[in-house]
Amino acid sequence: MDRAATGGRRRVGIAVVRGDSMRPALRSGQRLLVLYGARVRPGRVVVARFADGTLAVKRVAGRRESGWWLLSDNADAGVDSRHRGAVPDADVAGVVRARVWPWPRWL
């Protein structure tokens, strides 16, 4: 997102974790603070849209020629880049900065 479009401020939002693909770090029902337009880096947790339209919370494993390679923390539960391929920059909506509910914690 262009910071000029938001008056120099980045947008923030809340994402809700659904399912067990990010266990043990994140559990279903937890609320996450998402910073839209933040810099994506390996190791960060992001909210991204896969090519099939699925919006997901995943961890960035690295950069590929075709986009970001995103993985589940729990490989046995969930769909990630191993199933859907790399995610282009434009489809990474934001970077998770903190868990806000329950038990707030910076990520």
* Domain regions of the chain by residue span: 3-106
CATH of 3-106, one of 1.10.1760.20, 1.10.357.140, 2.10.109.10, 3.40.30.10: 2.10.109.10
Q: The whole model's pTM is what?
A: 0.88
Q: What angle do CA 60, 77, 101 make, to 5 degrees?
A: 70
**Alpha-carbon gap, residue 104 to 87, rounded angstroms:** 28
pLDDT of residue 9: 74
Convert the pLDDT of each residue in 8-62 to its tens digit.
Answer: 678 999 999 999 999 999 999 999 999 999 999 999 999 999 999 999 999 999 9
**Nearest partner of 61 among 75, 76, 41, judged by Cα:** 41
Query: pLDDT class for 105, splitting at 50, 70, 90?
Result: confident
